[in-house]
């Protein structure tokens, strides 16, 4: 099989595939659309070449051939957590400045899952930015040479990553609590398969270094589930001096449970969330949180895509892995 390499950052075209396969554009069209008039072995060979070259027929194909704007996909695991709409807004803002289109796939509560979400986006976009968990290898394979930039993950095979320094976040939270005289804390985690999340692991390491007594609890990624978990914990006679949560949404549920259980926040129990969504300022008391600058997160992700598409960064290069840090926003809850 002959292979070719397009110019850095240039979308592979039907002409590239036809040249590599030694056939006409019409034959490539027949192969990619499973049309009659082509041998099975030729169809298979062309489809494999197209996959290797990163060529995917698009409903925007005509516009792209005429130089239409870049399209990027966003794969998001749900919009019920206010974090994700805020992140989407930051990406859209950055894309709009570049005259790019944004196509969103929200794969929560769907059988499709993150890989299928990328498959759905692939015919429409030049690159994908996504929160895909560990489902990354297959997603990059689907996109071929087009960039996949992952959020909140390290050590993947994707073209780029934007990860977060949870060790730094844990150090900030626990130093703040220690300064308030807290020596016993609960961490409310979110993990589906047992164990601890990456956030929980960072918290456990830092708490261990400080010799701080720690209890780990688990709930679903919702305020309601967090409220139920903390209510059950209090009902057993436990009296935590502080609760740190996986995210701000769960912190809101924890605070509701504490109030319902007759606990004063922060007098009896301090609460610290994570993410820094606007919800925290609407709670009573207002939520202390480990905040990310979501405008920065969106800007970094889009800039990575831009540089990868332009060929300024090789896929998977050290410079395509960016680590961002949280900052502690001290409000009333801790």
Enumerate residues 6+ apart whose C-beta is below 8 A from 292.
164, 275, 276, 324, 326
Contact by Cβ (8 Å): 28, 50:
yes
Q: Rounded to the nearest 10 degrees, what angle do helices 25-32 and 40-53 cross at?
A: 90
Q: What number does CATH give the domain 166-291? A: 3.40.50.2300
Please state the pTM of the whole predicted model.
0.78
Secondary structure of 106-152 as H, E, C letters: ECCCCCCHHHHHHHHHHHHCCEEEECCCCCCHHHHHHHCCCCEEEEC
Instruction: Write out the CATH class of domain 69-164+294-326.
Output: alpha beta
Nearest-5° Cα angle at 130, 111 to 102: 100
For 1-32, give the DSSP string: -----PPTTPPP-HHHHHHHHTS-HHHHHHHH
Q: Per-residue pLDDT tens, the chain, 334 aa: give them.
A: 343 444 444 567 787 888 888 887 778 877 887 777 788 888 899 989 888 888 876 544 444 444 447 889 999 887 888 899 999 999 999 999 999 999 998 887 555 678 888 888 888 888 999 988 776 668 888 888 889 999 998 888 888 999 999 999 999 999 999 999 999 999 999 987 778 999 999 999 999 999 999 999 999 989 999 999 999 999 999 999 999 999 999 999 999 999 999 999 999 999 999 999 999 999 999 999 999 999 999 999 999 999 998 888 898 899 999 999 999 999 999 9
Q: What are the residue ranges of CATH 1.10.260.40 in the chain? A: 14-57
Q: What number does CATH give the domain 14-57? A: 1.10.260.40
Q: What are the residue ranges of CATH 3.40.50.2300 in the chain? A: 69-164+294-326, 166-291
Place of tokens 């989407």: 88
Identify the CA nearest to 221 among candidates 258, 259, 191, 255: 191
């Amino acid at each position: 099989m002959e292979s070719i390499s397009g110019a850095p950052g240039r979308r592979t075209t039907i002409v590239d595939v036809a040249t590599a396969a030694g056939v006409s554009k019409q034959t490539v069209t027949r192969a990619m659309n499973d049309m009659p008039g082509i041998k099975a072995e030729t169809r298979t060979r062309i489809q494999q070449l197209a996959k290797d070259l990163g060529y995917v027929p698009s409903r925007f194909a005509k516009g792209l051939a005429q130089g239409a704007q870049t399209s990027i996909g966003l794969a998001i695991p749900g919009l019920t957590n206010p974090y994700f709409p805020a992140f989407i807004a930051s990406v859209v803002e950055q894309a709009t400045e570049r005259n790019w289109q944004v196509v969103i796939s929200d794969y929560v509560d769907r059988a499709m899952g993150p890989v299928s979400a990328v498959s759905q986006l692939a015919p429409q976009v030049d690159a994908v930015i996504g929160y895909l968990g560990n489902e990354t290898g297959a997603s990059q394979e689907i996109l071929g040479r087009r960039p996949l930039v992952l959020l909140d993950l390290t050590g993947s095979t994707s073209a780029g990553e934007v990860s977060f320094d949870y060790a730094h976040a844990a150090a900030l939270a626990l130093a703040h609590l220690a300064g308030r005289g807290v020596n016993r804390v609960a961490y409310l985690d979110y993990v589906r398969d047992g164990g601890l999340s990456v956030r929980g692991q960072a918290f456990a390491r830092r708490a261990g270094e400080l010799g701080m007594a720690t209890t780990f609890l688990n709930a679903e990624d919702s305020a309601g589930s967090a409220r139920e978990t903390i209510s059950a914990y209090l009902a057993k006679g436990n009296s935590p001096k502080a609760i740190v949560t996986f995210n701000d949404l769960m912190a809101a549920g924890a605070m509701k449970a504490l109030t319902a259980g007759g606990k004063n926040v922060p007098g009896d129990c301090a609460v610290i969330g994570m993410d820094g969504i606007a919800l925290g300022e609407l709670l009573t008391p207002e939520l202390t949180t480990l905040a990310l600058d979501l405008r920065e997160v969106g800007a970094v992700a889009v800039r990575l895509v831009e540089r990868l598409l332009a060929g300024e960064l090789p896929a998977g290069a050290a410079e395509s892995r960016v680590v961002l840090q949280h900052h502690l926003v001290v409000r009333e809850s801790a």
